[in-house]
Amino acid sequence: MTSFSFASYAIASTFYAILAFLLCTSWRGRLQGGLLLLAVLISLVWALLVALGNQYLTIPLKHLLAVEVLRNVSWTGFLWALLSYTRSQRKQLGLGVVVIGYLAVCLLAIAAELVPSVAQALNGLLNVDFRILSHVVQAVVGLILVEQVFRRTRLESRWAVKFLCVGLGGLFVYDFVMFAEAMLLGRIDMDLWQARGAVNALIVPFIAVAAARNPQWSVDIFISRSVVFHTTALLATGVYLLIMAVVGYYLRDFGGSWGKQGQIVFVFAALLCLVVMMFSGRMRARIKVFFNQHFFSYKYDYRKEWLDLNRALVDAETTESLRDGCIKGLSDIVESAGGALWVKRDDDSFCLVHERNCHPVNIDRVLPNDSLIKFLSSKQWVVELPEFQREPEMYGDLDLSRWCEGLAGLWLVVPLVQRGKLFGFIILVDPRVERAINWEDHDLLKTAGQQLANYLALMDASEALAHARQFEAYNRLSAFVVHDLKNLVAQLSLVVTNAERHRNNPDFIDDAIDTMANSVDKMNRLLMQLRKGDIEAVSEKNVDLNEALSAVIFQQKNRSPIPEINSGDEDISLLLNRDKLIAILGHLVQNAQDACEPDDSIKINLYKTDNQAIIEVEDSGVGMDAQFVRERLFKPFDTTKGNAGMGIGVFEARQFVEQQGGRIEVHSQPDKGTKFTLKFPLQ
């Protein structure tokens, strides 16, 4: 056996082994799938034995032919199982007689191969080599069954079995030609025999595609579209380069004096054309459409399409990129060149928000009474312009004349539906390569449109939330500003109230001037913070707590009772915002003054432990019950002072202390007073 013969059958055995592995991992016990797997395994054994026979092992030809009979019987059994669904009992009975006769011939053929006396008897009886004749009969019966399978399959379902019929039909035709010639000449043509392995290898992909198209065989073979596409492209590139090389050598040998130069120019031009074709979107689209239509049971690899669509959406970081990703995701599904997106606004109109590769778009705003909006809202169909032009009655009163004038290349209109309502729509322009749109395209586009609508609605909700948070921050800033202004107004009001009575008192004048200077200074700092847009936009620095407490007493000295400071001689400093600390302590002292009678007392205690600086504001006023402290004290905008209070002083104090890494504690009892304890970590 030559090296070519060994390679030929070795390739066939490899192909059968791969197919057998795929079938083994996906077979679910059904008859057709089991017979297909059995036929492939026997074909694998047959090809492997022929490859090893006479090369590494000594296997007589008669034994190889006996195994070949088993291979033919297995394929015939598989075809017979496919025909078992036919409703024509009469034709089924006729085929049954043929199969019974076929099995008898196969049994005699095996006996003739293994028992010489049986072969001699049959040869003498028929005056022909029965072993060769039996293989001719097997090929003929196989062709009959292939023809019956194809003819009895409904016209609309033949795409599912045509590759099986082409593959097995080619196998049996080749066997018929080889053994018919052997019967006429008395010997097998070794060239045909040696090439037979490669022929068998060629039919394996056809069987695999047919198995993938017939889920009732329980063979869920996954043939990657990406692998098919790139493998075919690689093969086509190799063939192209081979042809170009042959032409280049022809130019060199027969081009005369310019032959070599002509070869160089031609090869460069051929490579340039190859690069252009490889990067051509139209060429890739044509190849994808061809394979989707002719090699797969469904037009789309839904897993890949869904992953690509989600990747385009997830990768979007801005609203603009998300809208662009929505158009790109839909256009890539149907190989469209681009499109435009309209989204519903608060006034129920639809506005153009983004376009991609479809300039110009002359329709910026669409009213809810537009014919297209009414149709999409009620039907939620994918509008296909070619179908609309062929069969306008399918679309009722839909009028697209305005859209055809306002958007060049209009092809598809895909509704974006969210919770059963029209959220928007995307118009796609003409595809890169002409293609038909069927129910599968419509379903995928509608489903993808719903996903896009959810993403766009989520993006709108996120933007609305961001705006709401901005307003919330602004309102919160305003509340703190008003609270601080209220305290300043209260201080100035005391000055005005006491001015008539103490205008001739020099000490009062000095205090009034100091109070107004302090108020002006605080208002200037407040205005500076407002211009920066952050009420807390003041740098931190080391603050002497004793000095800060003295400033608080100075601010509150015009109210009674006047607080008493108990701090000893300890020097305690913290890195924080001095003005903010004085403000929140002033709020607490003012609240204590409001809760006390003139003869009550307020104490401010300052001390430190090993790792904390502690400030206590303690009063003997009316106090608070535990429920009030737990539920209302720290709740913003909840006040017991009516129009005189803002309800954010204590809330602001807790927030400030916690920002420094500390905590605030409250101990209070009705009619016994309240103690606020502020604990700051020492740096």
Same domain assignment for residues 20 and 144: yes
User: Higher model confidence: residue 83 or residue 20?
Assistant: 20
Q: Which residue would you say has higher pLDDT here, 476 or 430?
A: 430
Q: Are 197 and 10 in contact (CB under 8 A)?
A: yes
Span 599-612, pLDDT tens digits: 899 999 999 888 88
Contact (Cβ atoms closer than 8 angstroms) between residue 638 and residue 629: no
- Whether the Cβ atoms of residue 424 and residue 453 lie closer than 8 Å to each other: yes
Residue 368 sits at φ, ψ, to 5 deg, of -65, -20
* Among 186, 240, 352, 215, CA closest to 297: 215
The confidence score (pLDDT) of residue 644 equals 47
Identity of the amino acid at 59: I
Lowest average pLDDT, out of 216-220, 537-541, 628-632, goes to 216-220
pLDDT band at 559, cuts 50/70/90? confident
Cβ proximity of 4 and 192 under 8 Å: no
CATH code at position 590: 3.30.565.10
Residue 542 CB coordination number (10 Å): 10
Phi/psi of residue 55, each to 5°? -105, -50
- Tokens read off for 554: 């100075």
| Alpha helices, DSSP H, located in 115-223 | 116-126, 130-152, 162-185, 190-212
In a domain? residue 74: yes
User: Residue 213's closest CA among 146, 297, 270, 94?
Assistant: 297
Domain final residue pick, 414, 440, 456: 456
Residue 554 CB-half CA count within 13 A = 17
Q: Please, what's the b/e burial string for 208-221 (b: 16 or more CB within 10 A of its CB; e: otherwise)?
A: bbbbbbbeebbbeb
pLDDT at residue 223, rounded to an integer: 47
Kindly state whether residues 323 and 250 are assigned to the same domain: no
pLDDT tens digits, 357-370: 887 788 888 999 99
Given a cut of 90, whether residue 680 has pLDDT beyond it is: yes
Euclidean distance between CA atoms 247 and 233, whole angstroms? 21
Strand partners, 543: 574
218-235 confidence digits (pLDDT tens)? 444 444 555 555 555 555
252 with 358, same domain? no
Does residue 143 lie in a domain region? Answer: yes
Spatial CA neighbour of 200 closest among 80, 64, 50, 52: 50
Q: DSSP letter string over 584-653?
A: HHHHHHHHHHHTS-TTS-EEEEEEE-SSEEEEEEEE-SS---HHHHHHTTTSTT--SSGGG--S-HHHHH
Count of structural domains, the chain? 4
Quote the mean pLDDT of the chain.
77
pLDDT above 50: residue 91: no
Taking residues 486-491, what's their average pLDDT?
68
pLDDT over 80 at 193, yes or no: yes
**pLDDT tens, residue by residue, 152-189:** 777 767 777 888 888 898 888 888 888 888 877 777 88
Percent of the chain with pLDDT over 90: 10
User: Are residue 43 and residue 96 in the same domain, yes or no?
Assistant: yes
Q: Give the H or E element holding residue 341.
A: strand 339-344
For residue 58, the domain's CATH number is 1.20.1070
Task: Specify if 482 maps to a domain.
Answer: no
CB 375, CB 364: distance < 8 Å: no
Position 673 confidence tier, pLDDT thresholds 50, 70, 90 = very high
**In this structure, how many other beta carbons lie within 10 angstroms of the beta carbon of residue 250?**
14
Do 61 and 206 lie in one domain? The reply is yes
Task: Give the pLDDT mean for 283-302.
Answer: 56
Q: Looking at the structure, tell me whether residues 9 and 149 fall in a common domain.
A: yes
Residue 289 lies in a domain: no
Model confidence, pTM: 0.39
Question: What single DSSP character describes residue 538?
Answer: -
pLDDT in tens, 473-488: 656 666 556 666 766 6
Q: How far apart are the first and last CA of the chain?
A: 91
Question: Which residues, including other chains, have CB under 8 Å from residue 587's CB and lie 6 or more apart?
Answer: 483, 487, 649, 650, 652, 653
How many angstroms from the chain centroid is the CA of residue 2? 53
Q: Is 437 a residue whose pLDDT tops 70?
A: yes
Chain CA centroid to CA 439, Å: 23
For residues 670 and 660, the answer to whether their CB atoms sit within 8 Å is no
Give the mean model confidence (pLDDT) for residues 35-43.
87
553 and 410, same structural domain?
A: no
Higher local confidence (pLDDT), 648 or 249:
648
What totals of helices (H) and strands (E) does the chain contain, helices first?
22, 13
**Residues 262 and 163 grouped into a single domain:** no
Range with the poorest average pLDDT among 11-20, 176-185, 287-296, 513-522: 287-296
Q: Are 612 and 680 in contact (CB under 8 A)?
A: yes
**Pairing between strand 602-608 and 421-429?**
unpaired
Q: Is the dihedral angle over the CA atoms 487, 489, 493, 499 positive or is it negative?
A: positive
Which three-class secondary structure state does DSSP give residue 23? helix
**What phi-psi label fits residue 533: left (phi over 0), alpha (psi between -120 and 50 degrees) or beta?**
left
Q: Do both 30 and 145 map to the same domain?
A: yes
The answer to whether residue 92 scores a pLDDT higher than 60 is no
Spatial strand order of the sheet with 421-429 comes to: 365-366, 350-356, 339-344, 421-429, 410-418, 383-384
From 399, 424, 456, give the residue that closes a domain.
Answer: 456
* Residue 528: inside a domain: no
Residue 237 has pLDDT above 70, yes or no: no
Both 317 and 346 in one domain: the answer is yes
pLDDT at 262: 58
pLDDT tens digits, one per residue of 379-388: 888 998 888 8
Q: Are residues 183 and 239 in the same domain?
A: no
Residue-level pLDDT at 236? 61
Calculate mean pLDDT across residues 509-521: 74
Residue 530 lies in a domain: no
Which range of residues forms the domain containing residue 235? 226-279
Q: How far is CA 31 from the centre of its chain?
A: 38
For the segment 319-336, the average pLDDT, to the nearest whole number, is 86
∠ Cα 258 261 266 (to 5°): 115
CA distance 262 to 254: 10
- Which of 259-263, 520-524, 599-603 is the least confident region? 259-263
| Final residue before a domain boundary, out of 411, 433, 456 | 456
Per-residue pLDDT averaged across 286-292, rounded? 56
- The answer as to whether 371 is a domain residue is yes
Residues 14 and 147 occupy one common structural domain: yes
Confirm whether 478 is domain-assigned.
no
Q: What is the pLDDT of residue 240?
A: 61
Helix (H) or strand (E) holding 543: strand 541-544
The length of the chain is 683
Among the listed residues 147, 153, 180, the one whose alpha carbon sits nearest the alpha carbon of residue 166: 147
Query: What's the CA gap between 673 and 666, in Å, rounded?
Result: 11
pLDDT for 618: 93
For 134-170, b where at least 16 C-beta lie within 10 A, e where not — what string?
bbbbbbbbbbbbbebbeebbeeeeeebbbbbbbbbbb
The pLDDT of residue 21: 82
